[in-house]
Amino acid sequence: MAKTTKGKDIPDVEHPQDNVTQKTKETQIAGECIFCHTFRQIPYEDAFTIAQLRGITEQEAADDLATDMCRCKQGIDFRESKKRLENAAEFMHKIFAENDGAYQMSLCCLKAVDSGDIEKVTFKIGKFSYTIDKDTQAMIRVKTKYTDSQDAKF
Ligand SMILES: [Zn+2]
């Protein structure tokens, strides 16, 4: 990622020490845990790759990585919550692979239930109804119910 100076006459006034500083700057970037504000040195390449993938700055990517690696209580809780959401999203994707609208809505429901914004949500598709809430251990719970009732109308 070295800057090219091709085609320009740059006076050679740099000290060898400056080169060393620059090299360190480019190979490592300090990331800060968003919860406990502990700093951690992150390989610049990793931050750069994630920044490119997600369209965020290298600093934001470094902070994300530092948060992911941090051992603080909030960091661990955050990762566990993220993992729960990922697993639940995967489960929903298996159910609603053919129905993107239902899948997208279920993701919103999962997030809202996990964050506590919504206590419980139920939606119905055909003969199935899905209820998303949290159990007593704060785990996300998805209840699927199949109802095949026959209505007689006269
Ligand atoms: Zn932390």
Which DSSP string corresponds to 25-55?
A: HHHEEEEE-TTT--EEEEEHHHHHHHHHHHT
pLDDT of residue 138: 86
Residue 41 is assigned to a structural domain of this protein: yes
Q: What is the mean pLDDT of the chain?
A: 86
pLDDT tens for each residue of 4-25: 445 555 455 444 454 444 555 5
Q: How many domains does the chain have?
A: 2
pLDDT of residue 12: 52
| CA of residue 77 to ligand 1 center, whole Å | 10
| CA of residue 76 to ligand 1 center, whole Å | 8
pLDDT of residue 151: 84
pLDDT tens for each residue of 105-139: 999 999 999 989 999 999 999 899 999 999 998 89
**Are the C-beta atoms of residues 129 and 123 closer than 8 Å to each other?**
yes
| CA of residue 40 to ligand 1 center, whole Å | 10
| CA of residue 69 to ligand 1 center, whole Å | 8
Q: Which of 71, 97, 125 is the last residue of a domain?
A: 71
In terms of residue numbers, what domain contains 50?
A: 26-71
97 and 127 co-located in one domain? yes
Higher pLDDT among residues 148 and 17, named by residue:
148
Residue 121 is assigned to a structural domain of this protein: yes
pLDDT of residue 26: 67
Has residue 1 got a pLDDT over 50?
A: no
64 and 96 co-located in one domain? no
67 and 33 co-located in one domain? yes
pLDDT tier for residue 69 given thresholds of 50, 70 and 90: very high
Q: Which of 71, 103, 136 is the last residue of a domain?
A: 71
Residue 153 is assigned to a structural domain of this protein: no
Residue 117 is assigned to a structural domain of this protein: yes
